[in-house]
Amino acid sequence: MDGGGTSTGEKSFIDRSGEAAGVRRLLMLGGSLLFLAALLAMFGHAYGGMALIAIFSFLAMVGIAAIFAFALGFVSFGQNHPTPEIVRHFLDTLPTGTVIVDRKGRILYANRAYGEATGAATGADAKTLERILVREREGAEAIYRLANKAGKGEAATEEFRLERDLAGHSMREPRWYRATVRPLDVLGQAAHAWQIADITAERVEQETFFQNLQNAIDHLDHAPAGFFASDEKGRVIYLNATLASWLGMDLASFRPSERSIESMLGREVAAYLADRSTGEAGTIDIDLTAADGRSRPVRFHIERGPGGEQAGAPVRAIVVARDASGADENAVQAAEQRFARVFNASPIAITSLDENGRVLRANDAFAALFGNEAATSGDLAEFIREEGRDTFRQAVAAAKRSRSVAAPIDIQLVGEPARSLRIYVSGISGSSEGGRESVVLYGVDITEQRTLEEQFAKAQRMQAIGNLAGGIAHDFNNVLTIITASVDFLLLNHRTGDPSFQDLLLIKQSANRAASLVRQLLAYSRRQTMRPKMLSLTDVIADMHLLLKRISGDLVKLERHHARDLWPVMADIGQFEQVITNLVQNARDAMPEGGTITVSTRNVLEAEARSFGYSELQEGDFVLVEVADNGTGMPPEVAERIFEPFFTTKEIGKGTGLGLSMVYGIVKQSNGFIFVESVPGAGTTFRILLPRHIPTEATAPKTETAAAIPSEKEDLSGTASILLVEDEDHVRAGNVRALKMRGYEVYEASSGVEALDVLAELGGKVDLVVSDVVMPEMDGPTLLREMRSKQPDLKFIFVSGYAEDAFAKNLPDGEKFGFLAKPFSLRELAVVVKQTLDE
């Protein structure tokens, strides 16, 4: 049927879009009139009949008029709402074949391009794509997928290849087609718009482009120069086969963006690219090292992408193998200047030696460590201490032979103060003719590191010795407690005139002397009992003046220098007096022919404390106490061991070697630091730094009175019930006997668990518990918590060879208890028990 003309006079190949619409409208008009007549007939027979006659008459007249108008050409079916001319013209002249199919597969519209593409001479010959391609496997599958997509209301596109064209003609070469479908709504009916285009020329163009690109890549891969490119994150995204072969890489295993520039091309290239001052382009000459260790001199011609002066710009470069003899003179000179700048600015000492061991060139760091004379020396080993020379020469010889990097060696340079170096020796491949580089040395100054290692090792050694001393002291205290108690029992049965009385006194005095040595060991191991209070060291040392004067003797002059407004510190006054006494006594012994001892104090701010250079010194303000003499001094190897227990330079019988050990322990237990500086023949200075104490309301100084010491005639007896807990049988037996002699009712237990059972059997009717601290099964602090949970007011005394605060930290805050340090006499036990019961 005629679908109407276009502005060009051409007609659509097929256009049935108006037919259905015209017939539909006529049917709707007739149906409406019949429905109206039926309604009138239902509401009344008279008017209904007349209405039907009138309607039929009207329809007859309209029909006769329509027949005459159709015959004369004034009316044509399907033209009630003609398609806009511009749209029809666009579709009919579209070079892409277009066809619109309803849901039953009937063609509603097809343009001329579709007819020409499918070989249809007239509209009656036109077929849908599904019917045309039904026998073509690849095309049928593509059309089937498109139809499914269109059925779901989706648009889709497929490309397929045919061995012939759509008209059925065989072709010399296959044809490529692109089919597109999208759903439409044509006057309320679902339809699909199909388009088919021959894209064979486009495909040929693409294949030609990709072939040309592949040829270009092949040429680039096998070019005599290397190429690489990186992205904005510094990752290599491309390199050609030439550069990969120079690097000893398998190009097939290369994965873009997995390797950084530094890991693939070396640190020097990465550092140059990171230097944004070089601009958007530049050149760098390096020796490219392959995976097998072989090197190749190359030149990188680098070009940075947009924003090359900013970090993160992409980079591409050409890498050209270079010949040093034929290199451009200006480029070589620039490279040498750049190398010299990096070489001299390196913080690592670098020097190169020839086959004879002579220094060829050295950087500034090398001159700073070895001295300028080393640069002209014929033998670098002369500047190394004797104990390391043979090791150094052997490392250099090994590097020359193997042409590789030898294991690092540690040496010390001659001179004072001694500098420690770690040397790396690397052999250079090349000619062995005289004057050529044979070995390169790299030196790293490890003096500070070595000092810290030695200090750490010393602290570890002192800690280990302290733990050993503390353990020995604990066991000695138990033995001494038994000896002291046994001697006290014997002295009760012997009068002064008894022949055995003096022997017993000698035993008691020896036991007391041993107890003093144990206290010194405990002081060194920082486990002695301390009662720190807020002190002014100026007042403490002033009160000790007469004692120190007597200790220093007549040949030695004692001087005191105190700064004003000295800050307070927290320390045990009795222990600190022992520190000063021991230091003055040692200073006196170091000046047998007389001299001057100076005791001085002053405040030290945090900044000045840092300037001392003591690495173990913590931050903060300190109060400094110095005890200096101008005596014989000590060599460094003696000063390093001066605080070790039982180490002494005195003659046999003139010292135990525990005095300075005790000083060290007391200072450390007071949270302070002690250092010694000594020069042989010039004297020694002991420097004590105690942390400044800033009092608060909670720690404000309180007036403390010493506990009254009972006189010999005071009554120490009582009738209270006491539970004695001690795991050492002999110690427990002696203490039980001593307390029973004073009239007390004593119950005993060998462990904390047994003590709880005894307390339960007694119904809690115990006035006082005297317990050891270190016991099997249950220690003293745990026993205290268990008993106080049932009897909060129960009085308690701890007996231990360790310091009170060594176990008090394991107890809840605010717990009150008495303390008796081992070893103790029977009288001391009775006094502590009496005082605790009377509180």
More confident residue, 7 or 787: 787
* Same domain for 668 and 606: yes
The lowest-confidence range among 567-581, 693-707, 708-722 is 693-707
* Same domain for 151 and 113: yes
Encode pLDDT of 807-817 as tens digits: 665 666 667 88
Q: Which two tokens stand for residue 804?
A: 């009170």
More confident residue, 635 or 494: 635
Phi and psi at 334, nearest 5°, equal -65, -40
CATH of the domain at 728: 3.40.50.2300
| Count of domains forming the chain | 6
Q: How far apart are CA 562 and CA 559, in angstroms?
A: 10
Confidence class of residue 80 from pLDDT cuts 50, 70 and 90? Answer: very low
pLDDT of residue 653: 47
Q: Do the beta carbons of residue 443 and residue 423 sit within 8 Å? A: yes
pLDDT of residue 770: 93
- Classify residue 599 by burial, with Cβ atoms within 10 Å: 0-12, 13-18, 19+: buried
Q: Which two tokens stand for residue 579?
A: 């520190």
* Same domain for 508 and 367: yes
First to last CA, the chain: 128
* Same domain for 546 and 430: no
Q: What percent of the chain stands above pLDDT 70? A: 74
pLDDT of residue 314: 74
Nearest Cα neighbor of 811 from 773, 839, 775, 767 is: 773
- Give the three-class secondary structure for 52: helix
Q: Do the beta carbons of residue 131 and residue 101 sit within 8 Å? A: no
* Same domain for 459 and 326: no
Q: Which two tokens stand for residue 628?
A: 């200096």
Q: How wide is the angle at C-alpha 173 spanned by C-alphas 169 and 176, nearest 5°?
A: 80
Q: Edge-to-edge strand order for the sheet containing 420-427?
A: 359-362, 349-353, 439-445, 420-427, 409-412
The lowest-confidence range among 355-359, 374-378, 494-498 is 374-378
Show the DSSP H helices in 222-310 as ranges. 241-246, 261-265, 267-274
Question: 72, 93, 114 — which closes off a domain?
Answer: 72
Q: Is the dihedral of CA 7, 13, 16, 19 positive or negative?
A: positive
Q: How far apart are CA 407 and CA 423, in angstroms?
A: 9
* Same domain for 647 and 742: no
Q: How wide is the angle at C-alpha 313 spanned by C-alphas 308 and 315, nearest 5°?
A: 85
Q: Which two tokens stand for residue 365?
A: 């760091």
Q: Is residue 80 part of a domain?
A: no
pLDDT of residue 568: 92
Which residues span the domain enclosing 804? 721-838
* Same domain for 45 and 94: no
Phi and psi at 218, nearest 5°, equal -60, -45
CATH of the domain at 617: 3.30.565.10
Confidence class of residue 308 from pLDDT cuts 50, 70 and 90? Answer: very low
Question: 469, 499, 524 — which closes off a domain?
Answer: 524
CATH of the domain at 455: 3.30.450.20
The lowest-confidence range among 215-219, 358-362, 752-756, 781-785 is 215-219
- Classify residue 587 by burial, with Cβ atoms within 10 Å: 0-12, 13-18, 19+: buried
pLDDT of residue 164: 80
Residue 420 has pLDDT above 80, yes or no: yes
C-alpha dihedral over 319, 323, 329, 334, to 10 degrees? 50
More confident residue, 748 or 530: 748
Q: How far apart are CA 775 and CA 725, in angstroms?
A: 9
Spatial CB neighbours of 319, under 8 Å, sequence gap ≥ 6: 225, 226, 227, 228, 243, 246, 288, 298, 299, 300, 301
Spatial CB neighbours of 495, under 8 Å, sequence gap ≥ 6: 501
Q: Do the beta carbons of residue 670 and residue 576 sit within 8 Å? A: yes
Encode pLDDT of 737-760 as tens digits: 888 888 899 999 988 889 999 998
Q: Is residue 217 part of a domain?
A: no
More confident residue, 332 or 707: 332
Q: Is residue 78 part of a domain?
A: no
Q: Do the beta carbons of residue 190 and residue 102 sit within 8 Å? A: yes
pLDDT of residue 725: 92
Spatial CB neighbours of 825, under 8 Å, sequence gap ≥ 6: 484, 485, 488
pLDDT of residue 15: 66
Residue where the block lists tokens 């070089």: 278
* Same domain for 173 and 134: yes
Query: Mean pLDDT throughout 404-411?
Result: 76
Task: Return the beta strands (E) in 295-371 as ranges.
Answer: 295-304, 315-321, 349-353, 359-362
C-alpha dihedral over 234, 236, 237, 240, to 10 degrees? 150
* Same domain for 490 and 387: yes
Nearest Cα neighbor of 514 from 474, 477, 542, 463 is: 477
Encode pLDDT of 430-467 as tens digits: 444 444 667 888 888 888 787 777 767 766 766 666 66
* Same domain for 137 and 38: no
pLDDT of residue 745: 92
- Give the three-class secondary structure for 533: strand
* Same domain for 272 and 156: no
List, in sequence order, every residue forming a beta bridge with 597; answer none if it has no partner.
558, 629
Residue 828 has pLDDT above 50, yes or no: yes
Query: Mean pLDDT throughout 706-735?
Result: 75
Q: In this structure, what DSSP letter does residue 836 have?
A: H
Residue 3 has pLDDT above 50, yes or no: no
Q: Are strands 107-110 and 97-102 parallel, antiparallel or unpaired?
A: antiparallel
Spatial CB neighbours of 124, under 8 Å, sequence gap ≥ 6: none
Q: Do the beta carbons of residue 729 and residue 757 sit within 8 Å? A: no
Show the DSSP H helices in 236-322 as ranges. 241-246, 261-265, 267-274
pLDDT of residue 2: 39
Query: Mean pLDDT throughout 528-535?
Result: 72
More confident residue, 527 or 659: 659
Confidence class of residue 628 from pLDDT cuts 50, 70 and 90? Answer: very high
Q: Is residue 479 part of a domain?
A: yes
Confidence class of residue 602 from pLDDT cuts 50, 70 and 90? Answer: very high
The residue type at 53: I
Question: 279, 303, 334 — which closes off a domain?
Answer: 334
Q: How far apart are CA 408 and CA 424, in angstroms?
A: 5
Q: How far apart are CA 130 and CA 147, in angstroms?
A: 9
Q: Is residue 800 part of a domain?
A: yes
Q: Edge-to-edge strand order for the sheet containing 622-629?
A: 556-562, 595-604, 622-629, 683-691, 673-679
Task: Return the beta strands (E) in 428-528 as ranges.
Answer: 439-445
More confident residue, 82 or 1: 82
* Same domain for 520 and 537: no
Q: Edge-to-edge strand order for the sheet containing 768-772?
A: 745-749, 721-725, 768-772, 795-800, 818-821
The lowest-confidence range among 229-238, 553-562, 632-641, 721-730 is 229-238
Average pLDDT, the chain: 76
Q: How far apart are CA 752 and CA 412, in angstroms?
A: 58
Encode pLDDT of 109-140 as tens digits: 888 888 888 877 777 778 888 888 877 888 88
Q: Is residue 77 part of a domain?
A: no
More confident residue, 627 or 660: 627
Q: Is residue 730 part of a domain?
A: yes
Spatial CB neighbours of 754, under 8 Å, sequence gap ≥ 6: 725
Residue 612 has pLDDT above 90, yes or no: no
Q: Is residue 350 part of a domain?
A: yes
Confidence class of residue 698 from pLDDT cuts 50, 70 and 90? Answer: very low
Q: What percent of the chain stands above pLDDT 90? A: 7
Residue 245 has pLDDT above 60, yes or no: yes
Encode pLDDT of 565-599 as tens digits: 899 998 888 778 888 888 998 888 888 888 899 99
